[in-house]
A and B are shown apart, each in its own frame.
Chain A
Amino acid sequence: MRLSFILVENTEIDLYIASKLINGIAGEVVVEKFLSSEDALEHIAFEKTKKADRTIILLDLMMPRLNGADFISLFEALPDRVKDRYQIVIVTSSMNRAELDRLSKRRNVEFVIEKPLTREKFKFLLEQIQMDVNQKEA
């Protein structure tokens, strides 16, 4: 299965860390990076994403202009054909439990990961995604 990643993260250091982890652990996969959530959404909506069996969106929540929660709402309004290619994983330093619980129940949100994103957490995430894929194939 070919995985690819879209990183939506307005903090440079977090964007750098995430892409290092992906390349170090998941190997040579396509990683598309966005400092602006508006640009990322446009990229997805106009189907400019590189072809893959499954694309994981690592989404920060606290971003100026278009925040993560609004990003999810706009994403949900896209046609199923587009949405079905993606899984959203929230990566956040937010301590607002209530909001995180609410967001984790949204249809397209698979996981919520608390920052910092470490090798351990990222490995765990990859395992979960792999298990999910195996289940669906079986």
Chain B
Amino acid sequence: MSDKLKILYIDDEPDNLTGFKATFRTQYRIFTAENAGQATELLQKNPDIRVVFCDQRMPGKTGAEFFAEIKGAFPLPIRILITAFADIEAVISAINLGNIFRYIRKPWIEQDIISAIEEGNKFYVANSLLSVKNDELQKAYTELDKFAYSVSHDLRGPLTGILGAIDVAREMSDINELRDLLVLMEKSVFKLEDYIASMHDYYSSRRGELKISDIDFNMVAEELKDFYRIYTTTNKISFQTVVRQPEAFRSDELMIKMILNNLVTNAIKYQKRNFENKCIDLNISVYDGLATFLISDTGIGIPESHFDEIFNLFSRATSLRAGSGIGLYNVKSGLLKLGGKIEVSSVLGEGTVFKLIIPSK
């Protein structure tokens, strides 16, 4: 069985190795080595070895020396020394140096070994969890730094814009000038509102639990079209949807809507100005438990050199349009949660196609 814990035992006496293996082979997967060289080789080939036992008295190198040596290259496996009473000094120093987890007196009894493996394994699991948590924490800190930047840019920026406008407006007497200013102030307020909405998406796409249910993509597409009708009519954009769903599909509907909303908003926002035939096409097809979405637009396009970074937090590919650089990041982290993936292809000045594949749950 492959899910048995992997244990390595090093001893220069072949009889001891055979005895150890015979005693524990039903409970654990046992690897044995007669010297340090063989042991290192086994550790290299089996990085998931959990616990290493080593005899203290071996020709050439003591067990304590061997452990001190491998600690750097193989920090994860739990190291346990097997030793006779006479070597107690070496044991104490090895423990104090942090080179061994505990020691077992020779001749060992079965119960001592089993308890050492169980305790060692608990320690191993706790350590691994800790390092996973550490990585997550590091990532969270990096994002927090980005937020600190974003607070002054995306929250404070529109506010200082409005404040400045109020200051200028005090001295204005021309009503038409004031109206122009109001339009700009309104834009700043919308920007703030957008930002707050995408912050909300950000948290739900990262922290929220998935709510899996049956999804009818015909309804989803109709809702999208209804929702964006005001924008598409006023901007003269033709928004077409085609749905082929011959089978049931299960996933988190809100998450999929968040993803589609972001992509459709982008498709509207990044249309070419003064272009006659503005289009957005959404094509959804479900086959063999996979939903494929194609969203294509006749927009300004994305330079190929930016394909890799557009999904990063606060990344912006153009200065021509308003945007916070969070939308596509939310799309990507939402997809990650659903087990889906996204591809982008684009021709500058002609348009962009996003292709998404999401598996049914």
Contact = CB atoms under 8 A, between A and B. Distances in A.
Q: Do A and B bind each other?
A: yes
A13 interface: yes
A17 B188 CA distance: 13
Chain A interface secondary structure, helix, strand, loop or mixed?
loop
A119 B167 CA distance: 7
Interface in B168-184: 168, 171, 180-181, 184
B171 A16 contact: no
Interface in B159-204: 159-165, 167-168, 171, 180-181, 184-185, 187-188
A116 B156 CA distance: 10
A14 B156 CA distance: 12
Nearest to A62: B153
Contacts of B161: 11, 13-14, 17, 115-116
B152 A13 contact: no
Nearest to A39: B319
Chain B interface size, as a band, is 20 to 34
Interface residues of A, number: 27
Contact of B157 (A17, A35, A62): A62
B318 interface: yes
Which one of B164, B165, B318 has the greatest number of beta carbons of chain A within 10 Å? B164
Given A16-B184, A63-B319, A96 B171 contact: no
B269 interface: no
Nearest first, the 6 A-B pairs at minimum CB distance are A116-B164, A64-B316, A115-B160, A13-B161, A116-B163, A13-B184
Interface of B: 149, 151-153, 156-165, 167-168, 171, 180-181, 184-185, 187-188, 316-320, 325
Interface of A: 10-14, 16-17, 20-21, 24, 35-38, 62-65, 93-96, 115-119
